[in-house]
Amino acid sequence: MKAPFLRRAVRAPGLFGIVAMACSFALGATDAAAADAGNFPNRGPIRLLVGFAAGGSSDTVARIMAPVLSKTLKQNVIIDNRPGAGGNIASDALIKAAPDGYTIMLGTIGSLAVNQHLSKLSYDPVTDMAPISLAVSFSNVLVVNANSKIHTFAEYLQAAKAPHSDMSFGSSGIGSSGHLAGEQLKFVAGLQNQHVAYRGGAPATNDLLGGTLASIFASPTDAIQFINAGKLRPIVTTGLQRLDVLPNVPTIAESGYPGFEANNWYAFTAPAQTPAPVIAALNQAIVATLKDPEVDAKLKKLGLDPAPSTPQEADRYIRAESDKWGGLIKKLNINL
């Protein structure tokens, strides 16, 4: 016969028994998670969040890469557009997702390095996300409707300097590189024109084509097909060097404002605490996809430079860009 305290111990484990059981379960869960991470990806699909509307630049990059990335990972990669708030809606969805690698994001300079300096967020993209790899980098192009009276940068500056100027400039959203390029130009050139934020480059381009918007600092992806079709007119680009796809379009830096640079970039991120083996597997697949000849050619045709990197390189770059643009936002007193 068992002693009464032993019978009670069997019926009710008590504090130390509960702690021991909890530790056992936790260790088992940790071991299972580690084993699952080592086998990643062993199920699907993988959800790729994009913070802007379908048809925009970041969406286009995602759709160029997704088929090859799916083949590389041997799991379907499903694009999930979450437009709004300059990419913050997608970012919020990412950090709330399970850190298991099955939800990742193609973030922009705005959502990863700028928005936290424009408004108070419930998260910090630098610390609450785990960088996987840089994706692409590129400069923007200032474009107007082909029927616009503006043909040169000098004419644009004259129109934008007028009191109550109607030479508005649109961008893919607040905090986007197009927005910051326009604000930076306003500061150095003393312009009076106003910014109009959109939920992605595609709707901004549609309004420009329709004549309800005067100009856009657009990504080459959004603008190049309409430039080639004669529907949009390029004025200047925002990088230090001319775009290969627009070799006859001057830069702002060579047009009277030496050193002017406002480049754009995208990067892949996962929720913080995503296991290192999962990040490594995703990085390997994304880098291989960016180096795929067909993907490389499609991106370059749109004026985008593939920028594969290690997670560590991506982390350093994002932090440096956050410091850079945070300082500029404070200096120019840019706010929502």
Q: Enumerate the domain spans of the chain.
A: 46-137+264-332, 141-237
- 271, containing H or E segment: strand 263-271
- 46-137+264-332 matches 141-237 in fold: yes
Distance of CA 333 to the CA centre of its chain: 23
Distance of CA 140 to the CA centre of its chain: 14
Residue 222, pLDDT score: 86
Burial class (CB in 10 A: 0-12, 13-18, 19+), 58: buried
| Fold entry, domain 46-137+264-332 | D-Maltodextrin-Binding Protein; domain 2 (3.40.190)
Q: Which residues of the chain fall short of a pLDDT of 70?
A: 1-36, 336
Residue 9, pLDDT score: 38
State pTM to two decimals. 0.80
Q: Which CATH class is domain 141-237?
A: alpha beta
Q: Are strands 129-139 and 305-306 parallel, antiparallel or unpaired?
A: antiparallel
Q: Which amino acid is at 282?
A: L
122-150 burial string, b = 16+ CB within 10 Å, else e?
ebebbebbbbbbbbbbbbbbbbbbeebeb
Residue 334, pLDDT score: 80
pLDDT per residue over 162-214, tens digit each? 998 999 999 988 888 899 999 999 999 999 999 999 988 889 999 999 999 99
